[in-house]
Amino acid sequence: DGGITQSPKYLFRKEGQNVTLSCEQNLNHDAMYWYRQDPGQGLRLIYYSQIVNDFQKGDIAEGYSVSREKKESFPLTVTSAQKNPTAFYLCASSWQQNTEAFFGQGTRLTVV
């Protein structure tokens, strides 16, 4: 089945540790996105990538890093510089600019 997969679903980390969230798609989509959702807020864009080996900062990129070495993969690293990392993270992908985005199931990260 084609789709977009995020893992793990729940993640716990100690404060000060870097953590990497996985996002893999087998839809042959060029564009991939990472969003963060906090309680009572909408989806805020962290990073996005239109093509392999290229990515751009979104609206809240500070404290995060990404890579796009393969078309199907767009991992997000939450670094220790991110002041409030506890949140729900959603990954999405789309084929072209005027086509719909498909979303993964999300990863809920809790930093203690």
Partner 1 sequence: ILNVEQSPQSLHVQEGDSTNFTCSFPSSNFYALHWYRWETAKSPEALFVMTLNGDEKKKGRISATLNTKEGYSYLYIKGSQPEDSATYLCALINAGGTSYGKLTFGQGTILTVHP
Q: Does 33 bind partner 1 (CB under 8 A)?
A: yes
Task: Considering the complex, state which of residue 50 and residue 73 has its C-beta at the smaller distance from partner 1.
Answer: 50
Q: Which of 1, 15, 69, 100 binds partner 1 (CB under 8 A)?
A: 100
CB of 51 to partner 1, least distance (A): 9
Q: Please report whether residue 90 would count as binding partner 1 according to CB under 8 A.
A: yes
User: CB of 104 within 8 A of CB of 18?
Assistant: no
**Residue 46, C-beta contacts closer than 8 angstroms, at least 6 positions apart:** 34, 35, 36, 58, 59, 60, 61, 64, 66, 76, 89
How far, in Å, CA of 84 to CA of 41, rounded? 14
- Using CB under 8 A as the criterion, which residues of the chain lie in contact with partner 1 when the complex forms? 31, 33, 35, 41-45, 48, 50, 56, 58-59, 90, 92, 94, 97-106
